[in-house]
Structure 1
Amino acid sequence: MTDTGVSSPPRAVLVPLALAQFICSFAGSNMNVMINDISRDLNTTVQGVQLVITTFLLVMAALMIPGGKLTDRYGRKRCFIVGLVVYGIGAVLSALAPGLGVLMLGNSILEGVGTAMLIPPVYILTTLLFTETASRARAFGVIMAMGGIGAAAGPLLGGLITSGLGWRAAFGFQALVVAVIVLLSLRVVDPLPADPTKSFDIPGSLLSAIGLVLLVMGILAADDDVRLMLALLAAGVAVLVCFFLWIRARERSGHEPLISTSLFRNRTSNLGLVTQNLQWLLLMGTSFVVAAYLQVVRGYSAIETGVIFTAATLGLLVSSLAAARLARRRAQRTLIMAGFLITVVGIVVLIVMTGSSENLWAFVPGLLLIGLGLGVMLTPAVNIVQSAFSEEQQGEISGLSRSVSNLGSSLGTAIAGTILAAGLTGHAYAAAMIALAALGVVGLVTAVLLPSQPGRFQPT
C-alpha cells in the first residue's frame, strides 16, 4: 500500500475521519444506558459493567501515545485501516459475548486497541491536510462535533437500539459503521510517506501504559480500599516519572524516544492538554452518572434515559458546528473559558432542578447547557495543541493529545462512577456531580492562564 502522492480532497478525507471519531466516542458512552440490560443478561453487576466501560477508555488512553508514534513508521492511512479492522473484530466479539469476560475482551481490549491505532491518524491527517487557520478550524470543528455528538448521542442511539433490538445489536451497529468507514477510507491519500527506518521505543511504551493504568486503577479502588488506592496512585506517579527519565536519557544518548521531551516545554500546549483532559472528563463523567442514576435509582428504561440525553446532544451539535464561525470572532482562550463556565453552570442547574423535582424533564435545561459548553471549547482546545508543533511532531503530539483526552474520559467515568457506586442514592448522585463541577472550575482557571493569542507553528 503506497500512501504518497496527491493530497486527498478535503471532503473525501473528512467523511471517514469524522465518522471514525463519532463511532469511537459513541462506543465510550452508549453502554451507559445498557447497564441494567447487560448486567441482567450476563449475570453481573453495575460495577462489572462500569469496569468494562472504564477499561475500554483506559486501554485507549494507555496506548494512544504508542499508537501515534506508529503512524510515523507505518503510515497514517495504514494504521487507520488496521485500527478499524481490529475495532470491528472487537465489536463483533462483543455482540456475541456469552459472559462478562468475553465482553471485556471484545469491547475493552480489542475496541480499545483499535481506537488507539485509528484515532491519532485522524488528527494527524487533519493537521497536515488543512494548513490554513480557518480551514483547519472548520475541519476540527466537524471532527470534534462528530466526536462530541457520538459521546452525547451514545445514550440515545444506544437506548433506541437496546430497547428495539437488544444491547447486542448496538455492537452490531458499530461493526457496520466501521465497515463503511473502511470502504470510504480507501480513497484517502497520506500526504507524508511512511518511514520504516523509524525506531520504536518499546520500553517507553510499556512505562507510559503501565503508569496510566495504575493511576486509573487507583481511582477505581477508592470505594473498596483507601490504602490500595494510595498505593496504586503512588505507583502510577512513580512509573510515569521513570517514563520521563527514560525518554530524557534516550534523547540525550541520541536515540529517538517514544515522545520528545520538547513537547512538555510548550506552556500553551501544556495548558491546552489540561483543558482537553478536563473537557472529556466532564463529558464522560456526566454521561455515566446521569445515565446510571436514571436507570438504577429512578428506574427508567434505556430509551427514556437516551431521550433525555438528546438535550446534551443538541447543545453539543449547535455549538460544535459553529466552531469555525466562533473562532473567527473570538480568541480561542475566550471560547475555552466560556465553555467551562457554561458547563459548570449547567451542572449546577442539573443538581438544583433534579433535586427539587421528580419530573424527568428537569434534567433537560442542565444537560442542554452542559452540551453547549462542551461544544464551544472542544475544537479550540485541540486546535491550540495541534497548531503549536511542526509537521514532523504531529505523530507525537496527536498521540499525546488523544491519550490525555481519553485519560480524561477514563478518569471521568472512574471518579464519578466510584462516588456513585459508594451508594446509588440521590445524595451520591449529587456528590458525584458536585465533584465534576469542582473539576470544571479547575478547567476554567486553567483556561484563564492560556495566552490570549497563542502562537502558531506556521507550516511550510
Structure 2
Amino acid sequence: MAERTRTGRFSPELRRALIPFALAQFICSYAGSNMNVMINDISEDLNTTVSGVQVTITVFLLVMAALMIPGGKLTDRYGRKRCLTVGLLVYAVGALLSAAAPGIWVLVLGNSILEGVGTALLIPPVYILTTLLFTDLASRAKAFGAISAMGGVGAATGPLIGGFITSAFSWRVAFLFQAAIVILIAVLCRRWVTDPLPPEPAMPFDVRGTISSSVGLVLVVSGILAADDNLAVCAAMIVAGILVLTWFFISVRHRERAGKPVLLSTSLFKNRVSNLGMITQNIQWLMLMGTSFVVSAYLQVVRGYNAIETGLIFTATTVGVLLSSLLAERFARRRAQRTLISAGFALTIAGIAILLPMVSATDGPWAFLPGLFVIGFGLGGMLTPSVNVVQSAFGEDLQGEISGLSRSVSNLGSSLGGAIAGTILVAGITATPGRSYALAMIAVGVAGLIGLAAALALPRGRPGQPLAAQ
C-alpha cells in the first residue's frame, strides 16, 4: 500500500483508509463545539447554570489535551489500530452515558471524561497511521490537509448540526448521533485500516511523567475557570500548575540524560520552526473555540435565541471554513505556508473587529454574519498549513511523539479558549452582558495577535513545499 503513494496520488486502499481518519477528526472536533448551542436546554433539563455547561465543555477539551501525549506513546506499545479501536469504543460509551445523563455530574463523566479519554486514545493513531501509510510528502500533505480540514469543518458545523438536532428532537439525541458516527468509524476501521508496524509490548511507559504533566495542565486550566469566583484560588492553582509542569520538564531532562524512558523527548522542543507552528496551532483553536462559546452563550442567554437559531447564525462560520478548506490546495500551490498562516490570523482578527461594532449597533441576527464568515474563512485557511509545518519538521522515528504533542497543543488551545473567553463572559453575562461579551471577544483578538507574531516569525519558504524541506 505504501509504495503506491510515490506518485503523490492516493490508491483506492488509501482513499478508503482516509475516510475513517477524516471522520474521526471530524467527530472529535464536532464534539468540542456542538454543546455550545445546547446551553439553555442542558441548563434547564439538568438544573445547572451556564457556568456548569462551560465547565463540562472545557473539561472535555482539557482531558484530551492532558492525555493526548500519553495516548500517542501507547500506540507504539499496544498497536496503532488497537488503540484507535479502543478509543472509539470508550468514546461511544461516553456518548451513550451522556445521552442518558440524569444530572450534570453524569454528563461530566460521560462527555468530559469518557469522551475525552476516548479521543485521546483515537486521535494520535489517526495521525501516526496517516504518516506511515502515506509515505511521500505530496500524498502525506494532502492526507493531513483532508483530515485537518475535516477537523475545522467539524468544529464549525458543530453548532449548526447540534442546534438542528436539539431543536428538532433533544440535546440527548445529539449525543446519540455522536455514538452512531463513532460506531460507524469503528466498523470502517476494522475493514479498511491496516497497521504497517507490529506493536512493541515491551516498550516502557513513563507513568510518572503522564501523571505530572496531566496534573499540571489540569491545575492551570482549572485556575482560569476559578477566576470569576475567587482570584486568590485562581492565582494559586495557576502557579501550582506552572510549578508542576516545570518539575515535569526538569524530570524529563534528567531521565533522558540517564537513558530512562520518558513521556516526551526534549528534542521535540529544539526545532524552532516546529515550536512556532505549535504556537499557531494552539492559538487557532483557542480562537475557534473561544469565539464559538462566547457567541453561542451570548445569543442564547442574552438575545434569547434557541439552539437551531444559534446554529443557523453559525452557518456563516461554517461556510467560511468550508470555502477556505476547498481552496486550501490551490492556496498552498501559490503561497508559502508562512503567508497562509499569517493571512489566516490577520483575517480572523479582522473578523472579530467587524463582529464587535456590528453586534453592538443592532439587535438583528444578520449583524453576526459578516464577522463570523471572515473568522471562519481565516481559521479554515490556516489550520492545515500549521499541521504541515509541525509534522514535517521531524522524521518518521518521532512521528508518534510529535503527533501526540501537536494534538495536545491544539486541544489545550481549545480548552484555554473556553476557559479564558468563557470565564470573562460568564463573570458578567447577567449584570453587564454587552460589556462582558466585548471583553471576551477582545481577549480572543489579543490571542490572535500573538498567533500572528508567531506566524510572521516562521521562515518565508516557498509555495508548495514544507518548511522542513527548504
Provide TM-score, normalisation by structure 1: 0.97
Deviations 1:295-336 (A, max 9, x none): 000000100000010110111011123222221211101100
Distance in 2, matches of 1:364 and 1:104, equals 32
Which range moves more in the overlay, 221-230 or 329-338? 221-230
Deviations 1:244-270 (A, max 9, x none): 111111111111211111001010000
Matched, 1:452 2:464: no
Counterpart code for 1:157: I
Matched residue count: 456
Q: How far apart are 1:456 and its partner, in Å?
A: 2.2
Distance in 1, matches of 2:143 and 2:185, equals 17
Counterpart code for 1:72: D
Counterpart code for 2:333: R
Deviations 1:368-404 (A, max 9, x none): 0000000110001001101111111111111110110
Work out whether residues 3 and 135 of structure 2, in 8 Å CA contact, stay in contact via their aligned partners in 1.
no
Which of residues 419, 422, 428 is equivalent to 2:427? 422
1:120-135 correspondence to structure 2 within 5 Å: 120-135=124-139
Counterpart code for 2:232: R
Residue 196 of structure 1 aligns with which residue? 201
Residue 29 of structure 1 aligns with which residue? 33
Distance in 1, matches of 2:457 and 2:385, equals 15
Work out whether residues 2 and 133 of structure 2, in 8 Å CA contact, stay in contact via their aligned partners in 1.
no
1:189-268 correspondence to structure 2 within 5 Å: 189-268=194-273
Which of residues 292, 295, 301 is equivalent to 2:297? 292
Distance in 2, matches of 1:5 and 1:114, equals 32
Residue 63 of structure 1 aligns with which residue? 67
Q: How far apart are 1:35 and its partner, in Å?
A: 0.5
1:95-174 correspondence to structure 2 within 5 Å: 95-174=99-178
Deviations 1:67-115 (A, max 9, x none): 0111111111111111000000000000001111111100000000000
Distance in 2, matches of 1:127 and 1:283, equals 26
Tell me: CA distance 1:35–1:71, structure 2 relative to 1, closer, same or farther (3 Å). Answer: same
Q: How far apart are 1:6 and its partner, in Å?
A: 10
Moved over 6 A (4+): 3-8
Work out whether residues 340 and 440 of structure 1, in 8 Å CA contact, stay in contact via their aligned partners in 2.
yes
Work out whether residues 153 and 321 of structure 2, in 8 Å CA contact, stay in contact via their aligned partners in 1.
yes
Distance in 1, matches of 2:143 and 2:380, equals 14
Tell me: CA distance 1:280–1:311, structure 2 relative to 1, closer, same or farther (3 Å). Answer: same
* Structure 2 segments unaligned to the other structure (5+ residues): 6-10
Matched, 1:365 2:376: no
Which of residues 442, 446, 450 is equivalent to 1:442? 450
Distance in 2, matches of 1:177 and 1:82, equals 15
Partner SS state of residue 468, structure 2: coil
Which range moves more in the overlay, 17-26 or 246-255? 246-255
Distance in 1, matches of 2:337 and 2:177, equals 36
Work out whether residues 275 and 443 of structure 1, in 8 Å CA contact, stay in contact via their aligned partners in 2.
yes
Which of residues 401, 404, 418 is equivalent to 1:399? 404
Counterpart code for 1:44: T
Residue 8 of structure 2 aligns with which residue? none
Residue 332 of structure 1 aligns with which residue? 337
Distance in 2, matches of 1:206 and 1:4, equals 36
Partner SS state of residue 428, structure 2: coil
Matched, 1:84 2:76: no
Distance in 2, matches of 1:249 and 1:457, equals 32
Residue 417 of structure 2 aligns with which residue? 412
Counterpart code for 2:376: G
Work out whether residues 256 and 262 of structure 2, in 8 Å CA contact, stay in contact via their aligned partners in 1.
yes
Work out whether residues 94 and 115 of structure 2, in 8 Å CA contact, stay in contact via their aligned partners in 1.
yes
Counterpart code for 2:451: G
Residue 178 of structure 1 aligns with which residue? 182
Q: How far apart are 1:193 and its partner, in Å?
A: 2.1
* Structure 1 segments unaligned to the other structure (5+ residues): none
Q: Percent identity?
A: 67
Distance in 2, matches of 1:342 and 1:360, equals 21
